[in-house]
A and B are shown apart, each in its own frame.
Chain A
């Protein structure tokens, strides 16, 4: 083996320090790339900071939403029970009304995302005066008596109403207890913090873009961005300079970006009566094709990208028409691809040899940078059943240049119109 590997020693001794001249302009190329990389690093850092800021905002927003006092009716019932246990008790026979009140109580607290003033007014009217004190623990009392009411803060306000005895008629008792309930609720069950209590709304959203791209030109096109193609690689699927110069007139190029399709799950919390904050997770599917054909070649590229995005939107209720609410939505979204696939087929026709060769490439791809966008839209929501709302929104988004490696409808169109349809459930 040693004898046989004499060639190894020979070549190493000869070529280990071998030097080969390099072209003069190569350093310039490296210098340009380094400068561009430095700029990219700054841009990337900004993206990361923006992304981090957006994530932080979402986390803070979510924490804020989650920390708000719960609207769980059972909690309120417990509170009310605690108070009412200390309250004077009047006799009543109106058990049937108990159930009515329980239902209306739940409805009152569970408001939808976009709450119109009219709806709110209706909701306020809905509570049944008779119902609250007729909940189960009162229903079982057979001999309800009026006793001294010991809660200091409402004592004076309720004193006069508590004076009547069980000899008074049922209607008067109902009125009286409703008012006691109102006072108790105002003083004890609705502390200052609770004035802002709003229900959370969960939404299932589907979005179909109204924008697509279908451009046919005589200039060669590729799904790779021009910068990457020119500076980082000379892949075989790019058109060679010879092809460009010889066959530009024969070349027919087509770039197609299909409409993006999205599905998302969002949660929103009203900040005021008319304003609500919405965030969640949105999945988007992007599909693109590029074709270059001429007398001597047919090149076809297809790409699929799957994005996950975090939206942050503010919805403002503009006006209500009956049960329907018209609202305005403004916000932004940060998206990042989670999976991407690229396919390339190159058919080369060689007339003189009467033959055709085919090269197929399939590879996983990734966009290096996250995609930021802002959006605006106008929508209508309509209650279809209890707290379930059907909504539709038409709008558009502006997609910032993410300087990504692969062309998409985001990079080529910038402004994309879309239609959102979904269901919201207030709880």
Chain B
């Protein structure tokens, strides 16, 4: 998550390497409970997230996006 890009930057980077028709085909909110399903998030980080992220945003700390693109 620390290395995650913003959606706009992700799209720009795909375009910058020559890919075209960059399209967001799926966008889904990603919450702390989603993170907790993954063993890569340790309990300390999850506790930190629950403490520091406002409760109203617990279900959308990030977004999972699927991008499609094509090479001309």
A and B interact: no
